[in-house]
Amino acid sequence: MKILHISNDFCLTKVHTNLYKELDALGVEQTVFNPVRDAALVGRNSFDGQHTNIIYAHVVKPWHRYFYHLKRRHVFNEMLKRINPQEYTLTHATTLLTDGGLAYKLYKRYGIPYIVAVRNTDVNQFLRRMPHSWLAARKILLNAEKIVFISESMKSLLIAHPVIRSIVPQIESRFIIQPNGIHDYYLDHIQSLPRKGHGIVYVGRFSNNKNVVRLAKAVLKLREIEKFSDCTLTLVGGGSAETNELENMIKARPDVFRYVEPIHEPSALCELFVGHRLFAMPSIYETFGLVYIESLSQNLPVLYTRGQGVDGLLPNSAGIAVNPYSIKEITEALAILLENTGNYYNNADIDFSLFRWNLIAKKYIDIYNGLEKIH
Protein backbone atom coordinates (compact mmCIF):
# COMPACT_ATOMS: atom_id res chain seq x y z
CA MET A 1 0.00 0.00 0.00
CA LYS A 2 1.27 3.44 -0.96
CA ILE A 3 -0.83 6.57 -0.43
CA LEU A 4 -0.73 9.83 -2.37
CA HIS A 5 -1.92 12.73 -0.24
CA ILE A 6 -2.97 15.78 -2.26
CA SER A 7 -2.93 18.71 0.15
CA ASN A 8 -2.98 22.26 -1.16
CA ASP A 9 -2.79 23.75 2.35
CA PHE A 10 -0.22 21.36 3.84
CA CYS A 11 2.18 24.27 4.27
CA LEU A 12 -0.50 26.48 5.89
CA THR A 13 -1.70 24.30 8.78
CA LYS A 14 -0.20 21.72 11.13
CA VAL A 15 -3.32 19.55 10.93
CA HIS A 16 -2.16 17.54 7.94
CA THR A 17 1.42 17.34 9.23
CA ASN A 18 0.18 15.79 12.48
CA LEU A 19 -1.76 13.10 10.62
CA TYR A 20 1.02 12.30 8.15
CA LYS A 21 3.60 12.04 10.96
CA GLU A 22 1.48 9.47 12.77
CA LEU A 23 0.85 7.53 9.56
CA ASP A 24 4.59 7.54 8.91
CA ALA A 25 5.29 6.26 12.42
CA LEU A 26 2.84 3.42 11.75
CA GLY A 27 4.76 2.43 8.62
CA VAL A 28 2.52 3.84 5.88
CA GLU A 29 4.35 4.54 2.62
CA GLN A 30 3.13 7.94 1.45
CA THR A 31 3.80 10.96 -0.75
CA VAL A 32 2.48 14.42 0.05
CA PHE A 33 1.89 16.63 -2.98
CA ASN A 34 1.54 20.29 -2.01
CA PRO A 35 0.97 22.84 -4.82
CA VAL A 36 1.75 26.35 -3.54
CA ARG A 37 1.13 29.90 -4.73
CA ASP A 38 4.04 31.51 -2.86
CA ALA A 39 7.61 30.21 -3.18
CA ALA A 40 8.26 31.33 0.39
CA LEU A 41 5.96 28.53 1.58
CA VAL A 42 8.09 25.77 0.08
CA GLY A 43 9.47 23.65 2.91
CA ARG A 44 7.04 24.86 5.57
CA ASN A 45 5.65 22.14 7.89
CA SER A 46 8.04 19.59 6.43
CA PHE A 47 9.20 16.74 8.65
CA ASP A 48 11.68 13.88 8.47
CA GLY A 49 9.80 10.64 8.02
CA GLN A 50 11.12 7.20 7.16
CA HIS A 51 8.21 6.45 4.84
CA THR A 52 7.20 9.90 3.61
CA ASN A 53 8.16 11.95 0.56
CA ILE A 54 6.97 15.58 0.53
CA ILE A 55 6.73 17.35 -2.84
CA TYR A 56 6.26 21.12 -2.88
CA ALA A 57 5.32 22.50 -6.29
CA HIS A 58 5.35 26.26 -6.83
CA VAL A 59 2.84 26.07 -9.68
CA VAL A 60 -0.26 27.99 -8.55
CA LYS A 61 -0.81 31.45 -10.03
CA PRO A 62 -2.72 34.28 -8.28
CA TRP A 63 -5.36 34.36 -11.02
CA HIS A 64 -6.06 30.65 -10.62
CA ARG A 65 -8.50 31.39 -7.79
CA TYR A 66 -10.97 32.75 -10.36
CA PHE A 67 -10.63 29.91 -12.87
CA TYR A 68 -11.20 26.58 -11.16
CA HIS A 69 -11.03 24.35 -14.23
CA LEU A 70 -7.92 26.01 -15.67
CA LYS A 71 -6.19 25.72 -12.32
CA ARG A 72 -7.12 22.05 -11.96
CA ARG A 73 -5.82 21.22 -15.43
CA HIS A 74 -2.57 23.13 -14.93
CA VAL A 75 -1.81 21.73 -11.45
CA PHE A 76 -2.70 18.19 -12.58
CA ASN A 77 -0.20 18.35 -15.44
CA GLU A 78 2.47 19.74 -13.10
CA MET A 79 1.74 16.96 -10.61
CA LEU A 80 2.26 14.29 -13.28
CA LYS A 81 5.72 15.73 -13.92
CA ARG A 82 6.61 15.05 -10.29
CA ILE A 83 4.98 11.71 -9.49
CA ASN A 84 4.55 8.29 -11.08
CA PRO A 85 0.81 7.51 -10.72
CA GLN A 86 1.44 3.78 -11.16
CA GLU A 87 3.15 3.70 -7.73
CA TYR A 88 0.03 4.51 -5.75
CA THR A 89 -2.84 2.34 -4.57
CA LEU A 90 -4.98 5.16 -3.17
CA THR A 91 -5.28 8.95 -3.21
CA HIS A 92 -6.33 10.90 -0.10
CA ALA A 93 -7.52 14.41 -1.00
CA THR A 94 -7.77 16.89 1.88
CA THR A 95 -10.40 19.13 0.25
CA LEU A 96 -13.35 18.40 -2.03
CA LEU A 97 -12.77 20.80 -4.93
CA THR A 98 -9.11 21.86 -4.98
CA ASP A 99 -7.54 18.53 -4.01
CA GLY A 100 -10.45 16.26 -4.84
CA GLY A 101 -10.49 17.61 -8.38
CA LEU A 102 -6.96 16.29 -8.89
CA ALA A 103 -7.79 12.96 -7.25
CA TYR A 104 -10.79 12.60 -9.57
CA LYS A 105 -8.63 13.19 -12.65
CA LEU A 106 -6.16 10.53 -11.44
CA TYR A 107 -9.06 8.15 -10.98
CA LYS A 108 -10.44 8.81 -14.46
CA ARG A 109 -7.08 8.45 -16.20
CA TYR A 110 -5.33 5.77 -14.11
CA GLY A 111 -8.14 4.11 -12.13
CA ILE A 112 -6.65 5.07 -8.74
CA PRO A 113 -9.42 5.06 -6.07
CA TYR A 114 -9.63 8.04 -3.75
CA ILE A 115 -11.14 9.35 -0.55
CA VAL A 116 -11.94 13.02 -0.15
CA ALA A 117 -12.51 15.36 2.80
CA VAL A 118 -15.01 18.22 2.83
CA ARG A 119 -13.90 21.46 4.45
CA ASN A 120 -15.00 25.02 5.08
CA THR A 121 -13.67 26.41 1.78
CA ASP A 122 -15.58 23.77 -0.18
CA VAL A 123 -18.96 24.56 1.34
CA ASN A 124 -18.66 28.26 2.10
CA GLN A 125 -16.64 29.41 -0.90
CA PHE A 126 -16.85 27.02 -3.86
CA LEU A 127 -20.40 25.76 -3.41
CA ARG A 128 -21.72 29.09 -2.19
CA ARG A 129 -20.06 31.47 -4.65
CA MET A 130 -18.63 29.51 -7.59
CA PRO A 131 -21.40 27.80 -9.58
CA HIS A 132 -18.92 26.84 -12.30
CA SER A 133 -17.49 24.30 -9.82
CA TRP A 134 -20.81 22.63 -8.94
CA LEU A 135 -20.78 19.94 -11.63
CA ALA A 136 -17.21 19.02 -10.68
CA ALA A 137 -18.23 18.71 -7.03
CA ARG A 138 -20.99 16.25 -7.96
CA LYS A 139 -18.63 14.13 -10.06
CA ILE A 140 -15.97 14.07 -7.34
CA LEU A 141 -18.48 13.00 -4.69
CA LEU A 142 -20.14 10.37 -6.87
CA ASN A 143 -16.84 8.65 -7.62
CA ALA A 144 -15.16 8.91 -4.20
CA GLU A 145 -14.74 5.69 -2.20
CA LYS A 146 -15.20 7.54 1.10
CA ILE A 147 -16.27 11.10 1.91
CA VAL A 148 -14.81 12.43 5.16
CA PHE A 149 -16.40 15.23 7.18
CA ILE A 150 -14.41 16.88 9.94
CA SER A 151 -17.65 17.65 11.78
CA GLU A 152 -21.36 16.85 11.71
CA SER A 153 -22.14 20.48 10.88
CA MET A 154 -20.00 20.31 7.74
CA LYS A 155 -21.95 17.28 6.55
CA SER A 156 -25.23 19.09 7.17
CA LEU A 157 -24.08 22.11 5.18
CA LEU A 158 -22.98 19.99 2.23
CA ILE A 159 -26.07 17.84 1.90
CA ALA A 160 -28.32 20.91 2.18
CA HIS A 161 -26.83 22.45 -0.96
CA PRO A 162 -29.40 22.25 -3.79
CA VAL A 163 -26.89 20.85 -6.29
CA ILE A 164 -25.71 18.14 -3.88
CA ARG A 165 -29.06 17.26 -2.31
CA SER A 166 -30.22 15.15 -5.27
CA ILE A 167 -27.21 12.81 -5.12
CA VAL A 168 -27.19 12.27 -1.34
CA PRO A 169 -29.01 8.89 -1.57
CA GLN A 170 -26.21 7.67 -3.86
CA ILE A 171 -23.32 8.77 -1.67
CA GLU A 172 -24.47 8.85 1.98
CA SER A 173 -23.35 5.25 2.63
CA ARG A 174 -19.78 6.46 2.08
CA PHE A 175 -19.94 9.27 4.65
CA ILE A 176 -17.48 9.25 7.55
CA ILE A 177 -17.36 11.75 10.41
CA GLN A 178 -13.74 12.05 11.56
CA PRO A 179 -12.75 15.09 13.67
CA ASN A 180 -9.23 16.45 13.65
CA GLY A 181 -6.91 15.75 16.55
CA ILE A 182 -5.18 18.02 19.04
CA HIS A 183 -1.70 17.94 20.53
CA ASP A 184 -1.11 15.09 22.97
CA TYR A 185 -0.08 17.59 25.68
CA TYR A 186 -3.69 18.73 26.13
CA LEU A 187 -4.93 15.14 26.27
CA ASP A 188 -2.26 14.18 28.79
CA HIS A 189 -3.08 17.18 31.01
CA ILE A 190 -6.88 17.31 31.06
CA GLN A 191 -8.18 19.57 33.82
CA SER A 192 -11.45 19.32 35.75
CA LEU A 193 -11.23 22.11 38.33
CA PRO A 194 -13.86 24.83 37.79
CA ARG A 195 -12.55 28.16 36.53
CA LYS A 196 -13.23 31.41 38.37
CA GLY A 197 -13.50 35.09 37.57
CA HIS A 198 -14.89 36.84 34.52
CA GLY A 199 -11.97 36.44 32.14
CA ILE A 200 -12.75 35.49 28.54
CA VAL A 201 -10.04 34.30 26.14
CA TYR A 202 -9.81 34.16 22.35
CA VAL A 203 -6.99 32.40 20.44
CA GLY A 204 -6.56 32.67 16.67
CA ARG A 205 -6.13 35.01 13.74
CA PHE A 206 -7.65 38.48 13.91
CA SER A 207 -9.42 38.08 10.58
CA ASN A 208 -12.92 39.15 9.58
CA ASN A 209 -13.96 35.50 9.38
CA LYS A 210 -12.92 34.91 13.00
CA ASN A 211 -15.30 37.73 13.97
CA VAL A 212 -13.13 39.10 16.77
CA VAL A 213 -14.44 42.67 16.50
CA ARG A 214 -18.03 41.58 17.19
CA LEU A 215 -16.76 39.50 20.11
CA ALA A 216 -14.95 42.54 21.51
CA LYS A 217 -18.07 44.70 21.13
CA ALA A 218 -20.10 42.03 22.92
CA VAL A 219 -17.67 42.13 25.85
CA LEU A 220 -18.07 45.92 26.07
CA LYS A 221 -21.86 45.43 26.13
CA LEU A 222 -21.45 42.79 28.83
CA ARG A 223 -19.52 45.19 31.05
CA GLU A 224 -22.54 47.50 31.11
CA ILE A 225 -24.20 44.89 33.34
CA GLU A 226 -23.11 45.57 36.92
CA LYS A 227 -22.22 42.01 37.89
CA PHE A 228 -20.01 41.69 34.79
CA SER A 229 -18.40 45.11 35.00
CA ASP A 230 -15.01 43.47 35.63
CA CYS A 231 -15.24 41.25 32.55
CA THR A 232 -12.09 41.15 30.40
CA LEU A 233 -11.08 39.69 27.04
CA THR A 234 -7.61 38.31 26.39
CA LEU A 235 -6.80 38.22 22.67
CA VAL A 236 -4.07 35.80 21.65
CA GLY A 237 -2.86 35.82 18.06
CA GLY A 238 -3.02 38.36 15.22
CA GLY A 239 -1.42 37.79 11.85
CA SER A 240 -4.05 39.39 9.64
CA ALA A 241 -4.38 42.61 7.69
CA GLU A 242 -7.95 42.99 8.98
CA THR A 243 -6.99 44.15 12.47
CA ASN A 244 -7.12 47.97 12.47
CA GLU A 245 -10.48 48.32 14.21
CA LEU A 246 -9.56 45.72 16.81
CA GLU A 247 -6.17 47.33 17.47
CA ASN A 248 -7.90 50.67 18.04
CA MET A 249 -10.29 49.03 20.52
CA ILE A 250 -7.39 47.45 22.41
CA LYS A 251 -5.57 50.79 22.65
CA ALA A 252 -8.70 52.65 23.71
CA ARG A 253 -9.67 50.19 26.47
CA PRO A 254 -6.60 48.54 28.00
CA ASP A 255 -8.70 47.90 31.11
CA VAL A 256 -10.88 45.53 29.08
CA PHE A 257 -8.68 44.08 26.36
CA ARG A 258 -5.32 42.39 26.79
CA TYR A 259 -3.29 41.51 23.70
CA VAL A 260 -0.92 38.52 23.75
CA GLU A 261 1.30 37.54 20.81
CA PRO A 262 0.73 34.10 19.25
CA ILE A 263 1.44 31.18 21.58
CA HIS A 264 2.50 27.94 19.93
CA GLU A 265 3.58 25.81 22.89
CA PRO A 266 0.64 23.85 24.35
CA SER A 267 2.06 24.08 27.87
CA ALA A 268 2.22 27.88 27.67
CA LEU A 269 -1.31 28.11 26.31
CA CYS A 270 -2.58 25.87 29.10
CA GLU A 271 -0.97 28.19 31.64
CA LEU A 272 -2.76 31.14 30.06
CA PHE A 273 -6.10 29.30 30.11
CA VAL A 274 -5.86 28.88 33.89
CA GLY A 275 -6.61 32.56 34.48
CA HIS A 276 -9.81 32.58 32.41
CA ARG A 277 -13.40 31.44 32.79
CA LEU A 278 -14.33 30.58 29.21
CA PHE A 279 -13.17 30.51 25.59
CA ALA A 280 -15.03 32.40 22.85
CA MET A 281 -14.63 32.24 19.06
CA PRO A 282 -17.81 33.08 17.10
CA SER A 283 -16.30 32.52 13.63
CA ILE A 284 -18.43 33.24 10.57
CA TYR A 285 -17.28 29.99 8.95
CA GLU A 286 -15.32 27.18 10.60
CA THR A 287 -14.30 23.72 9.39
CA PHE A 288 -13.59 22.45 12.90
CA GLY A 289 -11.66 24.70 15.28
CA LEU A 290 -9.05 22.73 17.22
CA VAL A 291 -8.81 25.45 19.85
CA TYR A 292 -12.36 24.71 21.03
CA ILE A 293 -11.27 21.19 22.01
CA GLU A 294 -7.97 22.44 23.44
CA SER A 295 -9.91 24.87 25.65
CA LEU A 296 -12.40 22.24 26.75
CA SER A 297 -9.54 19.96 27.77
CA GLN A 298 -8.61 22.65 30.28
CA ASN A 299 -12.23 22.87 31.50
CA LEU A 300 -13.06 26.14 29.78
CA PRO A 301 -16.59 26.07 28.35
CA VAL A 302 -16.75 27.43 24.82
CA LEU A 303 -18.81 29.91 22.82
CA TYR A 304 -18.92 28.72 19.21
CA THR A 305 -20.87 29.24 15.98
CA ARG A 306 -24.24 27.70 15.26
CA GLY A 307 -24.12 25.42 12.22
CA GLN A 308 -20.33 25.56 11.86
CA GLY A 309 -17.28 23.77 13.23
CA VAL A 310 -17.90 21.78 16.40
CA ASP A 311 -21.65 22.42 16.45
CA GLY A 312 -23.33 19.01 16.64
CA LEU A 313 -20.16 17.37 17.98
CA LEU A 314 -20.25 18.66 21.56
CA PRO A 315 -22.75 18.02 24.36
CA ASN A 316 -24.85 20.96 25.58
CA SER A 317 -22.76 21.13 28.74
CA ALA A 318 -19.67 22.09 26.70
CA GLY A 319 -20.87 25.57 25.79
CA ILE A 320 -23.28 27.63 23.70
CA ALA A 321 -23.65 28.05 19.94
CA VAL A 322 -24.53 31.52 18.64
CA ASN A 323 -25.42 33.45 15.52
CA PRO A 324 -22.03 35.05 14.71
CA TYR A 325 -23.65 38.16 13.23
CA SER A 326 -25.60 39.02 16.39
CA ILE A 327 -23.66 41.01 19.01
CA LYS A 328 -26.75 40.78 21.23
CA GLU A 329 -26.78 36.98 21.07
CA ILE A 330 -23.03 36.75 21.68
CA THR A 331 -23.39 39.05 24.70
CA GLU A 332 -26.26 36.99 26.15
CA ALA A 333 -24.38 33.73 25.65
CA LEU A 334 -21.29 35.11 27.39
CA ALA A 335 -23.45 36.17 30.35
CA ILE A 336 -25.03 32.72 30.63
CA LEU A 337 -21.67 30.98 30.50
CA LEU A 338 -20.14 33.27 33.10
CA GLU A 339 -23.10 33.05 35.46
CA ASN A 340 -23.67 29.30 35.26
CA THR A 341 -20.21 27.78 35.48
CA GLY A 342 -21.57 24.70 37.22
CA ASN A 343 -23.64 23.82 34.17
CA TYR A 344 -20.80 24.04 31.65
CA TYR A 345 -17.72 21.84 31.92
CA ASN A 346 -15.80 19.03 30.17
CA ASN A 347 -17.83 16.19 31.66
CA ALA A 348 -17.82 12.48 30.88
CA ASP A 349 -19.91 13.10 27.76
CA ILE A 350 -16.77 14.26 25.95
CA ASP A 351 -14.51 11.42 24.86
CA PHE A 352 -11.18 13.20 24.41
CA SER A 353 -9.56 10.05 23.02
CA LEU A 354 -11.41 10.84 19.77
CA PHE A 355 -8.95 13.69 19.30
CA ARG A 356 -5.70 11.76 19.74
CA TRP A 357 -3.77 11.77 16.44
CA ASN A 358 -2.34 8.30 16.89
CA LEU A 359 -5.81 6.76 17.13
CA ILE A 360 -7.07 8.90 14.24
CA ALA A 361 -4.19 7.66 12.07
CA LYS A 362 -5.09 4.06 12.90
CA LYS A 363 -8.69 4.71 11.80
CA TYR A 364 -7.43 6.04 8.47
CA ILE A 365 -5.23 2.99 8.04
CA ASP A 366 -8.29 0.80 8.57
CA ILE A 367 -10.05 2.79 5.82
CA TYR A 368 -7.05 2.46 3.49
CA ASN A 369 -6.75 -1.27 4.11
CA GLY A 370 -10.47 -1.82 3.58
CA LEU A 371 -10.37 -0.07 0.22
CA GLU A 372 -7.21 -1.92 -0.81
CA LYS A 373 -8.98 -5.25 -0.24
CA ILE A 374 -11.90 -4.11 -2.40
CA HIS A 375 -9.62 -3.09 -5.25
Q: What is the pLDDT along the chain (375 residues), one digit of tens a residue?
A: 999 999 999 998 889 999 999 999 999 999 999 999 999 999 999 999 999 999 999 999 888 888 999 999 999 999 999 999 999 999 999 999 999 999 999 999 999 999 999 998 999 889 988 999 999 999 999 999 999 999 898 999 999 999 999 999 999 999 999 999 999 999 999 998 888 899 999 999 999 999 999 999 999 999 999 999 999 999 999 877 667 888 899 999 999 999 999 998 999 999 999 989 999 999 999 988 999 999 999 999 999 999 998 998 888 889 999 999 999 999 999 999 999 877 887 766 788 999 999 999 999 999 999 987 676
Q: Do both 216 and 167 map to the same domain? A: no
Q: In what order do the strands lie in the sheet with 199-205?
A: 257-260, 232-238, 199-205, 278-280, 302-305, 319-322
The residues, ordered by sequence, that sit 6+ positions from 56 with a Cβ below 8 Å of its Cβ are 11, 34, 36, 41, 42, 43
Nearest to 286, CA basis, from 261, 256, 322:
322
Q: In 277-309, which positions are buried (b, 16+ CB within 10 angstroms) versus exposed (e)?
A: bbbbbbbbbbbbbbbbbbbbbbbbbbbbbbbbb
Q: Do both 159 and 28 map to the same domain? A: yes
Q: Do both 150 and 206 map to the same domain? A: no
Cβ–Cβ under 8 Å, residues 34 and 55: yes
pLDDT for position 349 = 72
Question: Model pTM?
Answer: 0.90
pLDDT for position 7 = 97
Q: Do both 273 and 172 map to the same domain? A: no
Number of compact structural domains in the chain: 2
Give the count of beta carbons closer than 10 Å to the beta carbon of residue 83: 17
Q: Which residues is 91 bridged to in the sheet?
A: 4, 114
Q: Do both 204 and 321 map to the same domain? A: yes
pLDDT for position 223 = 96
Q: Do both 226 and 147 map to the same domain? A: no
Q: Do both 288 and 362 map to the same domain? A: no
Q: Do both 14 and 55 map to the same domain? A: yes
pLDDT for position 178 = 94
Cβ–Cβ under 8 Å, residues 181 and 355: yes
Cβ–Cβ under 8 Å, residues 108 and 115: no
Q: How far is CA 71 from the centre of its chain?
A: 24
Give the DSSP per-residue string, 66-85: G-HHHHHHHHHHHHHTT--G
Q: Do both 131 and 191 map to the same domain? A: no
The boundaries of the domain holding residue 175 are 2-181+356-374
The CATH code of the domain that includes 230 is 3.40.50.2000
pLDDT for position 241 = 67
Q: Do both 121 and 208 map to the same domain? A: no
Q: Do both 13 and 119 map to the same domain? A: yes
Q: Do both 93 and 225 map to the same domain? A: no
**Alpha-carbon distance 115 to 368, whole Å?**
9
Give the DSSP per-residue string, 263-331: ---HHHHHHHHHT-SEEE---SS-S--HHHHHHHHTT--EEEETTSTTTTTS-GGGEEEE-TT-HHHHH
Q: How far is CA 232 from the centre of its chain?
A: 27
